[in-house]
Amino acid sequence: MEPIPVAGLRVCCLVRTAPPPAGTTGHWRLEKVHARHLPEFGPEHPEFYFNESAGISWPIPPLQPDIPVQGRTHRAGFGDGRASRTLVVGANGQLGRALRARYLGDPDVDFLTRTELDLAAPEPFLGVDFSRYATVINAAAYTSVDAAETPAGRAAAWAVNATAVGALARACTEHRMTLVQLSSDHVFDGTVEIHDEDEPVSPLGVYGQSQAAGDIAAATTPRHYILRTSRLTGDGSNFVTSMASLARRGVRPTVVNDEYGRLTFAEDLAAAIAHLLGTGARYGVYNMSNSGPVQSWAEVAADVFAILGLPRDSVTGVPAADYYADRPGSAPRPAHSALNLAKLKASGFTPPPARERLEGFLGGRSASP
């Protein structure tokens, strides 16, 4: 069967719930399947049957959905009595806050903060009723790159970024949910200048290793989107807000000038997630950062100072080897973190330029005390 060019359409199918006893047709249920994934249900999936005598002409012509993209996946339903709701885990982090803003007022999206659901706990999902949900967005992560190199940090990073993701993936498989998992440029060693989705993981530090393990765990559930991102910037503590704070205090920082990548603004990452879910894009790994030129940390810092009305030469660039020489315990970092955005763009989502977003992000700030 050829792919069906329909955005947002779900098709009712009869699904056999278990192998039939001898001499019977077995038990069936009605399920709604996104049209984009119908080609996957071929002869190798005999539990899906389509009535060819119904007189329907294939492929179905494109339809104009009457539901906004943002809400399609939350309104479509499954047809088995289960509410089509979305659960956001890690709702108080930078991405979590952006998702709150994105889905503001949507009654079908629930949010859990670290206080309400701590992924570092031995059985973090014990009290979660997953039968209520069609989608889980895991915006929680242990992101203290240097602290992850300590004994306590190592245990916490693996608990949150790997073990909990494995448990979440199993729950998604059991309840037929879609899992959205966030990943990082730190899963690569940085020897390749531009990273594709199919590049083998090669993490340098504990943080990257735990993230790579989480990627592998998330990919075990059939319905998954893994979004690899870099240099997250949003409502919270991040490199850009740190540089803006130094600028306001009149500090002239020394910043690494040989580690390269692009910023990812949380609002655009949230928009990319909504796009993939709303359009029923094919499951798999997607790179996501803002677009524009690849920059060193020092160049980004100089941009921050310039936007705030201070000289670019307020920032002094130094090689990473020199910067970390007197900082024992620092984690190794990839020299190149830029992500190839071609796959995401082909799905219909083009991230805005990082410089444009940076100017907007700093628009309400001032270098004056």
Known catalytic residues? 207
Q: Report angle CA 295, 96, 338 to the nearest 5 degrees.
A: 20
**How many residues does this entry show for the chain?**
369
How far is the C-alpha of 269 from the C-alpha of 213, rounded, in Å?
Answer: 22
Q: CA-to-CA distance for 131 and 138, rounded, in angstroms?
A: 17
Q: CA-CA distance, 25 to 48, in Å (whole number)?
A: 13
Q: Which of 137, 130, 96, 289 is nearest to 225 (CA)?
A: 137
Close Cβ partners of 226 (under 8 Å, ≥ 6 residues apart): 181, 182, 183, 215, 218, 219, 284, 285, 286
Give Cβ neighbours of residue 68 (< 8 Å, ≥ 6 apart).
none
Q: Which amino acid is at 111?
A: F
Angle in degrees, CA 22, 81, 113, rounded to 5: 120
| Farthest-apart Cα atoms in the chain, separation | 82
Q: What count of other Cβ atoms lies within 10 Å of the Cβ of residue 178? A: 22
Q: Say if CB 347 and CB 285 are below 8 A apart.
A: no
